[in-house]
Amino acid sequence: MHERYAFMQSMQFDKLLCNSCNSRDICVRGLVERNLPGYAIGGLAGGEDKDSFWRVVAQCTAGLPEDKPRYVMGVGYPLDIVVCSALGADMYDCVYPTRTARFGSALVPEGVLKLKQNAMATDERPIDPSCPCMVCKNYTRAYLHCLVTKDPMGSQLLSYHNLSFMARVSCHFFWLSCSF
């Protein structure tokens, strides 16, 4: 038998049933009764405000079994991953780290570093001095600035760094000590 995840398109489902909080609860209970190997929460990250988004995640995860994966679809901002993890979600996916890289930006603890800016052209520091990834260990902001303005390799290197950053954010939240 092929195992499948249960998908909850929470925001769309809710809109169909007059924005009733009970509609999500009914959906969650119905899916949990099927005893599936995992649950996915979707229909989020589509422009709703953060409070509404987090409220939906909290409501859905509260009704899902803690011993099975709870996956929030399309969530990739570092803050959302931390908050959703605190609310009980286990997994995420998103294009944010790689899309951000394609636009010449690197994820750093302070936010986003825009390497296409002219100020980066002479900056000899790594993207993030505390980052252990091979990009930060081997390339300067100035070199990456040159690449992202002229060569697709710049986006690839920034993608590598951004994915490393996201892995460290997730790892830090879950295990508080991990080496990437």
The domain locations on the chain are: 6-92, 96-175
pLDDT digits (tens, 9 = 90+) for 86-143: 899 888 888 899 999 999 999 999 999 999 999 999 999 999 999 999 999 999 999 9
pLDDT score, position 4 = 57
State yes or no: pLDDT of 41 exceeds 60: yes
Report the first-to-last Cα separation within the chain, whole angstroms. 36
Query: What is the arithmetic mean of pLDDT over 52-76?
Result: 89
Q: Compute the distance between CA of residue 69 and CA of residue 72 in angstroms, rounded to an integer.
A: 10
Provide the token pair at 63: 């009704």
Percentage, residues of the chain above pLDDT 90: 48
Distance of CA 58 to the CA centre of its chain: 16
Output phi, psi for 107, to 5 deg: -85, 130
The mean pLDDT value of the chain amounts to 84
Q: Compute the distance between CA of residue 91 and CA of residue 154 in angstroms, rounded to an integer.
A: 28
Handedness of CA 136, 141, 144, 149 (dihedral sign): positive
Query: What is the arithmetic mean of pLDDT over 156-172?
Result: 91
pLDDT score, position 1 = 43
State yes or no: pLDDT of 11 exceeds 60: no
| Weakest-pLDDT range from 13-17, 38-42, 82-86, 101-105 | 13-17
Burial class (CB in 10 A: 0-12, 13-18, 19+), 56: buried
CB atoms within 10 A of CB 111: 9
Residues 68-90: b if buried by 16+ CB within 10 A, e if exposed: bebbbbbbbbbebbebbbebbbb
pTM across the whole model: 0.77
Q: Compute the distance between CA of residue 75 and CA of residue 52 in angstroms, rounded to an integer.
A: 14
